[in-house]
Amino acid sequence: GFDGTGIHWKENFESMFSEICEIGRGRFSVVRKCLNKSTKKEVAVKFVSKKMQKKEQVAQEADVLLHVQNHQLVALLDTYESPASLMLVLELLEDGRLFDYLVAHDELMEEKVSFFIREILEALQHLHTCRVAHLDLKPENIMVDLHSPTPCIKLIDLGDAVQLSVHRRYVHLLLGNPEFAAPELVRGTPVSVATDVWSVGVLAYVMLSGVSPFLDESPEETCVNICRLDFCFPDEYFGDVSQAARDFVSSLLQQDPRKRPSATACLQHPWVVRGGAHGGEYSKKPLDTSRSSLHPVQERREHRNNRRPVRTQKFRTGSRAWRKS
């Protein structure tokens, strides 16, 4: 397995790099843009506090990154440590997050959503072939790279990733926002590569509609909705979305992980397969990118009331019969 024992930690970070600015924050880490003094290349450096995380955990993340490296995953360039921190030197992804890129477009077509879902599935297919589950797939961890001939995605933050073994059941502790988390993460039952497939279903729902299928007023209520599989496709948000897209989302959002298709099987779905949706059954109407769910996580939290269709004014006073019973 990727136990991190082979990772070599250098100690001369400050003589090699100068810090430029902060570009992100995680639960136990800060990501800063830094300059390599000798090559003059800018990089992203993830600084993990030694007080907050064990060295073995960070070494495991580094080990996974090295072993699963491909064009759809952020590249690990080097590893350093100081008395207070462990540093992962990563490629800098200047083009930002996928969701921000989608929001910046005046017209988001369903075909484009299908394209990016296919990209995410291809990245997962590679990870899963390496028996690695990401376990923290959410908008903040999906970057876009616009430097290639066609835009592509890169997954970042493999801090929760784990190499699964046939001999050992692995239960993962859900620490963050449960919005994109599968029922097995919420319940504390064993995870699998199918845990990531569920998250793709939630991502697709959000990208197609601009609302989130399970998000509610509190994390507890969100968890209840996830475990009850309490979602549907309200016309207000899905009126212009094709049946093929809805079928795709429904096939992924299944309680039983064994019933969810693999990433490879997802790539064969009519809505995702290249040339897609039975040769062009995508909806031809632009999707609404103004809705809050595609915006950064801070705004998504602020607009929480707007995210679950049940919270909109239209349904607040009436019955909840439109929801899945």
Number of CB atoms found within 10 A of residue 9's CB: 16
Distance CA 28, CA 38 (A): 29
Annotated catalytic residue 136? yes
Distance CA 258, CA 261 (A): 8
Structure tokens at 102: 């989608």
What are residue 15's phi and psi, to 5 degrees?
A: -80, -20
* Closest listed residue to residue 125, CA positions, set 72, 164, 169, 74: 72
Structure tokens at 196: 């990531």
SS3 132: strand
CA distance to 183, 195, 208, 295, 300, per residue, from 230 (Å): 11, 18, 18, 23, 20
- Please name the helix (run of DSSP H) or strand (run of DSSP E) that holds residue 24, with its range, or none: strand 17-25
DSSP state of 108: B
First to last CA, the chain: 43
- Is 46 annotated among the ligand-binding residues? yes
Out of 136, 145, 157, 160, pick the active-site residue: 136
Give me the sign of the Cα torsion angle 99, 53, 23, 8: negative
Structure tokens at 195: 């845990």
As to burial, measured by CB atoms within 10 angstroms (0-12 exposed, 13-18 middle, 19+ buried), residue 310 is middle
* Closest listed residue to residue 111, CA positions, set 224, 32, 208, 180: 208
- Binding site for ATP, by residue number, is 46
User: Residue ranges for the binding site?
Assistant: 46
Please list the active-site residues: 136
